Structure 1
């Protein structure tokens, strides 16, 4: 009787920044180990976008996908984004059970393991029911993973965090990590009484339960915290596997209008353009959007800006697409005045191709971990402008630990808004002068380290091979 091939079930969480690392991890696994078969079971809060469908339809034949029935948005509308995401997965578990059991009976593949997102923790119960090995793909830095692993113990110290981490009197220093002020920690950690705090605490407690944690980082990027987790393991935490950087290698669905910005880049001098983008869901207020526009104009430097319609919420476009025309919100006359200096794109740009481009000399970014890794892989120094999630932690790491970025200072007397003069100042630091050259030199070091990690005998590829061998060995058990 012919031996079955190993099959992996993957359960992402809603939100492109959670879906992307699982997709790219799966692609890398089947490229290096083509005998694997991977099934995506995708919880949905609304109808999948055409771009999401096209991504899945372009995947290798060893990867299939099922969109689970939509969860009623009305049931979750009053919740914060983190709890919405978590509850969407939890409410999808009954249909997931039905699909997982069907997959389990495949004549050609044996389901041996389940890989889930950090916000899909309640799916661990299904892995246990099916006697599967379970793994969490943690989509961010090892440093923020360390915070999550230590969070349950930190939460018990009510003297240190009486009402939440916002009130920390001393910087938080985790083993192997740089220090963080309370205000730099993710929003859900800041207020003990919030629903988001309870959601994240629950997820962090569950993080002790899987057989392993797969991290989208690489050993040479964060060696101190990697070593600290290894030393403190002693069966306290699951095994941690560093397989990053996991990023897209090309953008999907580049339309004619998207190609226009790339043609514009083709006509610009080398390293002359600042790319400005706040990720797949970040939004600015109207006042901040206007200050950013005026600051880019004042800087005198060329820019390619992905504009999204403003909102009072920093993540309003994360779980639902915006319908307004973003270009109608920029200052009057701005597009005409900056015609030769800048190129403005509504809502989306082919980021991989932009960051690869020789004309792109820097990246003003919200510090989402996917964008951070892409900037490192393509060697672009950054202006960091964090908005939500763990982005403030990433910003501290990029400026103080890696020293590959500069951070604008907000006006404390005006809701933290970054004024146009400050925008112009940091753009000039990045794009001209000695400090910008030093940032560019340092980012090249990380670019080389990232390339080495995913080379044929690099640390991340070897770790992936070891993990694949562990899963293959389960066929005989």
Structure 2
């Protein structure tokens, strides 16, 4: 889960300049930067991206350096995180540098902006309407839900949203005794103070939630604008290894390969990694797998700030796996050019952690998904995608080689559920592309926001 604040900093008479503060992490920075690109290309706006020096990876620095003229960046002073235990969750690690937890608002940031003379503050939620709905209702849920969410017998029902089992609710809300929970509750209550909320989603992927948040104006709630999908639009493949995976895809039949990646931060346990390998082999499907070293001692978000494996991840694979699957599989250590892989005609499925950036990238390129969520809001996303809109097949528990193989094979070749998912994703791809085109829903929504800034 991520957020950013957008403050329009100049009077209407001058050119539009927007200051944007991004939560730590590439998954949060990318959609905010893409929003800045869109404002620059359509409205001639300039932007300043404020990031945190303590979490600036090599990848982040290279990404910021690649942004076009007019979009600049400033790094805030570093914060020492060395006193945090290795097992600390990503939400806890975010809170110290950002001075607030991972939620789409920051009272401290809002107060500082207003103290500096910025009259209006717009929140940018780079996840989806389901996530926003949860946060808008969190104070009410805190008062009415006894005990922990994970212990609820019935799913959590939010207006317009797919019912979410308590165990799938946002990870940092699973322990009410954790200080992070109280921080999230505090800031969720203040998100209604924003002048408006921009969301990186589109109506077709969560239509009922859109109907509630867009068309039913609730007293005391800011207007909500779907301005997505905002995904990475400019990428560059530099290394021979990265190029090699695309060359391998060139030799595969159309829609025949399942791409396997858990995002820039996800880490599996050793046994999960072993079962995944055996499941891919058992499925009989071609696969391109971004392999990272497992994490048995840290958190499932262990790679969040640094996606590079610290040791050769291939040594953790089952004995003989690489040799047995050399004719149908391609293994890449740590990183692959995800946009190019998803856009390739040979890619027919995506086994994903259901991070929202990856989800949108998959939908924009028309690639159906196998859902394997790990942390943050990913479990909620998996419920919405699999049980709500029908754009994914979720790997059932327990995640053993047989269940993994079954989900992958059904997605890629199934004539019932798999076929339905593939058809749904094709329709969502069409809606997503239409929305960001001239006169589309996202384009119109952003134009309404810019009009407000100009008045």
**Does residue 131 of the first structure (1) align with residue 117 of the second (2)?**
yes
Q: Is the 8 A contact 1:251 1:351 kept in 2?
A: no
- Trace 1:409-448 onto structure 2 (pairs within 5 A): 409-411=396-398, 418-435=399-416, 436-448=418-430
**Does residue 275 of the first structure (1) align with residue 283 of the second (2)?**
no
Deviates more, 1:82-91 or 1:290-299: 82-91
Deviates more, 1:173-182 or 1:273-282: 173-182
User: How far apart, CA to CA, are the structure 1 residues paired with 2:107 and 2:94?
Assistant: 11
What secondary structure is seen at the aligned counterpart in 2 of 1:169? coil
- Give the aligned partner of residue 373 of structure 1: 360
Q: Once the two structures are superposed, what CA deviation does each residue of 1:20-41 show, in whole Å capped at 9, x if it has no partner?
A: 111111111111111x110111
- Give the aligned partner of residue 134 of structure 2: 147
- Give the aligned partner of residue 6 of structure 2: none
- Give the aligned partner of residue 8 of structure 1: 18
Shift of 1:231: 5.2
What secondary structure is seen at the aligned counterpart in 2 of 1:179? coil
Q: Find 1:456's aligned residue among 414, 438, 445.
A: 438
- Give the aligned partner of residue 361 of structure 1: 348
User: How far apart, CA to CA, are the structure 1 residues paired with 2:80 and 2:16?
Assistant: 34
- Give the aligned partner of residue 8 of structure 2: none
User: How far apart, CA to CA, are the structure 1 residues paired with 2:85 and 2:72?
Assistant: 30
User: How far apart, CA to CA, are the structure 2 residues paired with 1:438 and 1:333?
Assistant: 35
User: How far apart, CA to CA, are the structure 2 residues paired with 1:170 and 1:449?
Assistant: 33
- Give the aligned partner of residue 92 of structure 2: 83
> Which consecutive unaligned segments of at least 5 residues does structure 1 have?
92-115, 412-417
Q: Is the 8 A contact 2:394 2:407 kept in 1?
A: yes
Number of matched pairs: 437
User: How far apart, CA to CA, are the structure 1 residues paired with 2:13 and 2:421?
Assistant: 53
**Does residue 55 of the first structure (1) align with residue 97 of the second (2)?**
no
Q: Is the 8 A contact 1:86 1:119 kept in 2?
A: no
Q: Once the two structures are superposed, what CA deviation does each residue of 1:197-238 show, in whole Å capped at 9, x if it has no partner?
A: 112212211211211111001123222212212455343211
Q: Find 2:80's aligned residue among 72, 77, 92.
A: 72
User: How far apart, CA to CA, are the structure 1 residues paired with 2:387 and 2:249?
Assistant: 31
Q: Once the two structures are superposed, what CA deviation does each residue of 1:413-437 show, in whole Å capped at 9, x if it has no partner?
A: xxxxx11111111111111131322
Q: Is the 8 A contact 1:363 1:382 kept in 2?
A: yes
User: How far apart, CA to CA, are the structure 2 residues paired with 1:37 and 1:239?
Assistant: 24
Shift of 1:77: 4.5
What secondary structure is seen at the aligned counterpart in 2 of 1:74? coil
- Give the aligned partner of residue 339 of structure 1: 326
User: How far apart, CA to CA, are the structure 1 residues paired with 2:110 and 2:395?
Assistant: 41
- Give the aligned partner of residue 305 of structure 1: 289
Q: Is the 8 A contact 1:12 1:117 kept in 2?
A: no
Shift of 1:300: 1.2
What secondary structure is seen at the aligned counterpart in 2 of 1:409? coil
Q: Is the 8 A contact 1:307 1:345 kept in 2?
A: yes
Shift of 1:307: 0.7
- Trace 1:10-49 onto structure 2 (pairs within 5 A): 10-34=20-44, 36-46=45-55, 48-49=56-57
Residues 86 and 253 of structure 1: CA distance in aligned 2, closer, same or farther (over 3 Å): farther
Q: When the two structures are superposed, what TM-score results if normalisation uses the length of structure 1?
A: 0.88
> Which consecutive unaligned segments of at least 5 residues does structure 2 have?
1-11
Radius of gyration: which is bigger?
Answer: 1
Q: When the two structures are superposed, what TM-score results if normalisation uses the length of structure 2?
A: 0.92
Q: Is the 8 A contact 2:105 2:191 kept in 1?
A: no
What secondary structure is seen at the aligned counterpart in 2 of 1:343? strand
Q: Once the two structures are superposed, what CA deviation does each residue of 1:86-109 show, in whole Å capped at 9, x if it has no partner?
A: 221129xxxxxxxxxxxxxxxxxx
- Give the aligned partner of residue 162 of structure 1: 146
Shift of 1:44: 3.1
After superposing on structure 2, the runs of 4+ consecutive aligned residues of structure 1 that deviate more than 6 Å are none
**Does residue 467 of the first structure (1) align with residue 449 of the second (2)?**
yes
- Give the aligned partner of residue 186 of structure 2: 202
Q: Is the 8 A contact 1:163 1:191 kept in 2?
A: no
User: How far apart, CA to CA, are the structure 1 residues paired with 2:105 and 2:268?
Assistant: 25
User: How far apart, CA to CA, are the structure 2 residues paired with 1:367 and 1:254?
Assistant: 26
Deviates more, 1:141-150 or 1:230-239: 230-239
- Trace 1:218-257 onto structure 2 (pairs within 5 A): 218-230=202-214, 232-257=216-241
